[in-house]
């Protein structure tokens, strides 16, 4: 009876096991999820789903290679897997082999000498290298390894696969590192590149530890110099990113980030630290973010609004000095004024453009200002003078009507008075927050033109910060003017900092792209998925850098300085943080504490 009970339990257990296996066969496993839908193996490539795949192996190496020789391949903007297999070899066996080889080479050298044959440099070098390797192995300075290196390339088409293969072979061949395709072994080569530690090709070469160290490709960019401003921490190696923007070919910088990404915080930190080094800073502030900073450092804070006492006359001429060309000075001012009129009056027809050119010249002539440099010391005209001229010109009726609201209408006064202040040393902030939306691009243009006219004569190290620069990029005349400053700033010891959160609006303009290309520094913070593709195409980001920008925390991003770049984390001291913060909660707490004091 007991035997029958055991037999029944065994049969029941077997039945349950069969049922469990049958059930599991109907479930998805991890293997099902990661397995490709199709795999086609050819002689010298594979097709994995819709991707074309090819594996290369390194066949020979030169006698000498520089450290980090593999880095250019790693930094190619291509789909690529690199697999290294390292096999430690027992030193005792290698020492016996080397002893035998050295004996053979010494015997060959002695025979050649006895025969009176000419010296064999190749044999002598091999003998010297073998002896040096024996000494280093005996002293423990070197270890011996066998090493295999494979590249597996992924492409969308066969033509692209062949192109990438040629690029890699050329780049390595230039360093006398020669590769071959794993013909008839593509599947083995592909398996050797997977993160499974399986080397199915077994194409190995002997390497010492010092030779093996040169193949290590992952080096972090070091942007630390002996002078300059601290921008943040290098996230690759925790070193400081300390840089002087004025040491580059130009000192311009662009800063891109989504709202709340930390762009204004980073720029205000740079402003604060640049002031400590004696650099003057001018800021066009559309959101009143720099007022606390200006007060903290004793800078000038000017509110440009309809009710402000401070005025800028767009008709001001540059004070270029005694040797300046008066004709050029007047002509450039007229061109800038015509651009301003395009913003104020809307799109101009060719006829209106010609009428404005004539009217502006007559406005200067009313004040006895001509191309003669001495006459340009006279008080410049105002917008009222231009309106009077237009009202007395045939065909200028529409222009006069549109200009009238800036002289006697709703917006009167702001651009119709003589300039009543001058640029100061240190920090100077122009706040345009209190202006109507329609007046903001006009005010930014006028302020930029005023600053530009001043700094061209009095050259000293300055930084000009244009926040929310996308506002200017909406209009061709203002975009062209900003680009002109970016292109010419270097000659006047000026660094232009352009900040924007609307990346697509900024880069959709040809002038916006030109501003980026004329900026040696670029600072990219967290980006939105909607704009990341534009950023990736503009800055040629890798897939890793693209995902870094999508996942970065506030104040984290990528810092580009010339040809170097590194992941950055912006950091501030406790005092700096209280001065430059844009967090509304922190600002409210600071305000409450100040009131209590």
User: In this predicted model, what pLDDT tens digit does every residue of 363-385 receive, in sequence order?
Assistant: 888 888 887 777 778 888 888 88
* Residue 469 pLDDT greater than 60, yes or no: yes
**Residues forming beta bridges with residue 522, ordered by sequence position:** 254, 560
Question: For a pLDDT cut of 90, what percent of the chain falls above it?
Answer: 12
Picking from 523, 463, 458, the residue whose alpha carbon sits closest to that of residue 489 is 463
Residues in Cβ contact with 365 at an 8 Å cutoff, skipping those fewer than 6 apart? none
Alpha helices in 408-439 (DSSP H): none
Q: Would you state the pLDDT for residue 585?
A: 64
Residue pLDDT, tens place only, 194-207: 888 899 999 998 88
Please compute the mean of the pLDDT values over residues 211-231 and round it to a whole number.
74
* Residue 121 pLDDT greater than 60, yes or no: yes
Do residues 399 and 352 touch, judged by C-beta distance below 8 A?
Answer: yes
Indicate if the alpha-carbon torsion angle 301, 448, 261, 238 is positive or negative.
negative
Angle at alpha carbon of residue 176, lines to 174 and 179, rounded to 5°: 95
Which DSSP state fits 242? E
Residue pLDDT, tens place only, 182-195: 999 999 999 999 88
In whole angstroms, give the CA distance from residue 558 to residue 548. Answer: 8
* Residue 586 pLDDT greater than 80, yes or no: no
User: Model-level pTM?
Assistant: 0.63
Q: Where are the domains of the chain?
A: 33-213, 229-306+424-596, 313-418
In whole angstroms, give the CA distance from residue 448 to residue 445. Answer: 5
* Residue 150 pLDDT greater than 90, yes or no: yes
Q: Would you state the pLDDT for residue 440?
A: 82
Helix (H, G, I), strand (E, B) or coil at 459: coil
* Residue 395 pLDDT greater than 70, yes or no: yes
In whole angstroms, give the CA distance from residue 235 to residue 232. Answer: 9
Do residues 186 and 126 touch, judged by C-beta distance below 8 A?
Answer: no
- Report the 10 Å Cβ neighbour count for 15: 10
Residue pLDDT, tens place only, 490-524: 888 889 999 888 777 777 778 888 888 888 888 98
pLDDT confidence of 591, banded at 50, 70, 90? low
User: DSSP letters along 178-238, please?
Assistant: EEEE-TT-HHHHHHHHSTT---SS---EEEEHHHHHTT--------B-SSSEEEEEETTTS
* Residue 143 pLDDT greater than 90, yes or no: no
- Say which CATH architecture domain 229-306+424-596 belongs to: 3-Layer(aba) Sandwich (3.40)
* Residue 563 pLDDT greater than 90, yes or no: no
Q: Would you state the pLDDT for residue 157?
A: 92
Is the pLDDT higher at 54 or at 501?
54
Run of H or E residues at 79:
strand 79-88
Q: Would you state the pLDDT for residue 584?
A: 62
Q: Would you state the pLDDT for residue 7?
A: 66
Picking from 463, 451, 517, 510, the residue whose alpha carbon sits closest to that of residue 487 is 517
Is the pLDDT higher at 65 or at 379?
379
Least confident of 12-21, 160-169, 461-470, 563-572: 12-21
CATH code for 313-418?
A: 1.10.8.730
In whole angstroms, give the CA distance from residue 324 to residue 573. Answer: 46
Q: Would you state the pLDDT for residue 165?
A: 93
Residue entry with tokens 């033109």: 449
- Report the 10 Å Cβ neighbour count for 163: 12
Q: Would you state the pLDDT for residue 439?
A: 82
């Amino acid at each position: 009876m007991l035997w029958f009970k055991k037999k029944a339990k065994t049969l029941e257990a077997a039945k349950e096991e069969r049922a469990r296996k049958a059930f599991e066969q109907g479930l998805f496993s991890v293997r099902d999820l990661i397995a490709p839908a199709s795999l086609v193996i050819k002689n010298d490539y594979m097709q994995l789903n819709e991707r074309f795949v090819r594996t290369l192996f390194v066949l020979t190496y030169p006698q000498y290679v520089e450290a980090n020789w593999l880095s250019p391949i790693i930094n190619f903007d291509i789909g690529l897997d690199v697999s290294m297999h390292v096999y430690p070899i027992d030193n005792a066996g290698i020492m016996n082999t080397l002893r035998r080889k050295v004996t053979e080479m010494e015997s060959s050298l002695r025979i050649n000498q006895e025969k009176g044959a000419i010296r064999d440099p190749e044999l002598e070098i091999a003998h010297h290298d073998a002896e040096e390797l024996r000494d280093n192995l005996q002293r423990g300075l070197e270890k011996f390894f066998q090493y295999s290196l494979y590249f597996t390339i992924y492409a969308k088409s066969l033509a692209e696969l062949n192109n990438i293969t040629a690029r890699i072979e050329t780049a390595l061949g230039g360093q006398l590192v020669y590769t071959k395709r794993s013909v008839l072994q593509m599947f083995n080569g592909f398996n050797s590149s997977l993160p499974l530690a399986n080397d199915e090709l077994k194409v190995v070469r002997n390497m010492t530890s010092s030779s093996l160290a040169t193949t290590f490709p992952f080096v972090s960019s070091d942007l630390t110099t002996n002078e300059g401003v601290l921008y943040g921490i290098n996230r690759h190696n925790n070193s400081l990113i300390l840089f002087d923007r004025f040491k580059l070919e130009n000192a311009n910088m662009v800063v891109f980030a989504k709202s709340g990404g930390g762009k204004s915080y980073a720029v205000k930190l740079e402003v604060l630290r640049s002031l400590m080094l004696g650099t003057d800073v001018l800021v066009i502030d559309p959101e009143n973010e720099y007022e606390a900073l200006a007060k903290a450092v004793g800078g000038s804070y000017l509110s440009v609004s309809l009710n402000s006492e401070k005025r800028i006359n767009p008709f001001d001429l540059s004070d270029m000095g005694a040797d300046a060309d008066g004709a050029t000075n007047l002509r450039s001012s007229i061109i800038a004024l015509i651009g301003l009129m395009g913003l104020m009056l809307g799109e101009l027809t060719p006829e209106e453009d010609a009428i404005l050119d004539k009217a502006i010249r007559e406005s200067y002539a009313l004040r006895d200002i001509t191309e003669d440099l001495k006459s340009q010391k006279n008080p410049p005209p105002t917008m009222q003078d231009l309106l009077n001229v237009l009202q007395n010109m045939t065909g200028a009726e529409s222009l006069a009507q549109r200009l009238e609201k800036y002289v006697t209408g709703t917006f009167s006064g702001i651009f119709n008075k003589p300039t009543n202040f001058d640029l100061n040393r240190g920090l100077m902030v122009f706040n345009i927050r209190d202006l109507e939306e329609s007046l903001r691009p006009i005010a930014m243009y006028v302020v930029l033109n005023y600053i530009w006219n001043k700094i061209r004569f009095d050259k000293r190290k300055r930084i000009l910060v244009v926040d929310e620069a996308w506002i200017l990029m909406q209009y061709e005349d203002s975009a062209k003017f900003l680009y002109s400053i970016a292109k010419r700033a270097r000659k006047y010891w000026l660094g232009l900092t352009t900040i924007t959160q609307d990346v697509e609006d900024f880069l959709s303009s040809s002038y916006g792209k030109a501003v980026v290309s004329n900026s040696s520094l670029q600072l990219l913070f967290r980006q939105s998925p909607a704009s990341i593709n534009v950023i990736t195409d503009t800055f040629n980001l890798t897939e890793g850098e693209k995902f870094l920008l999508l996942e970065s925390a506030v104040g984290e991003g990528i810092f580009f300085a010339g040809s170097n770049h590194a992941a950055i984390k912006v950091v501030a001291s406790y005092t700096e943080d209280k001065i430059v913060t844009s967090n509304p909660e922190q600002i409210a707490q600071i305000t409450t504490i100040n009131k209590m004091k």
